[in-house]
Amino acid sequence: MEQALVWLVIACAGFVGTHMLLSSALRGPLVRALGEKAYLGVYSLVAFVTLGWMAAAFHATPAGEPAWNGWAGVPWVIASVLTIVAMALIVGAFNRNPALPQANLAGLSTRKPWGVFRVTRHPMMMGIAIWAVAHIIVAPTQRTILLALTVLFLAVVGSSLQDRRKVRTNEREWSVWMMRTSFWPNPANLGAIGSTWVVAIAVWFGITGLHWWLSGVPAGIWRWLH
């Protein structure tokens, strides 16, 4: 294994490992010692540093040969559709998301799921997971697959850990919410997202255009317009 790829593996492990430790085993002791706000500050700082380390290691690793032609029409269209879905889930996750820090869970057990929460109770994390899958499809190189699998693993496992933590802190509300919602995205309810699709597509156009401008690699529909 090339040295650069080894460093990328180490950086990915550091990114995942620190997230897991800070959000599970070390969360309670740190919150008690520092307070909730200071803990969130430490968590965010560590996340930012390890993410930067992982990004630097990724760019230092040669891309290598792709496992298949991700630039072909079919994989490109599939990846583009997936990233639009991912963006819709992420955008919709900011609308009264009960999983966000400091969210008020009072009465959650009496409410029916709304918007993206009819698709999954973890729209932000599942949106990130779908984003990762799309990038594996369109850029199947060693470094991209490793990075994307790291993000995918953290999103899925992090969602599961979040469920456990919410049940511990508010079992009555969150247990009912879990029964009324789906962990994995339910494609049959994508239509329930409604007008969020409009915002998501607009953001998607902007982000894929920015991707082209910053990296020199066209993404999404810009693949056919450049």
What was the pLDDT predicted at 39?
81
82 in the same domain as 170: yes
55 in the same domain as 78: no
Query: Which residues touch 20 (CB under 8 Å, ≥6 apart)?
Result: 157, 161
pTM of the model: 0.89
Given a cut of 90, whether residue 117 has pLDDT beyond it is yes
What was the pLDDT predicted at 34?
82
147 in the same domain as 88: yes
Residue that is last in its domain, among 62, 79, 107: 62
- For 58-113, the pLDDT digits (tens) are 999 998 889 999 889 999 999 999 999 999 999 999 988 998 877 788 889 899 99
Q: Percentage of residues in the chain with pLDDT exceeding 90?
A: 62
159 in the same domain as 81: yes
**Lowest mean pLDDT: which of 36-45, 110-119, 213-222?**
213-222
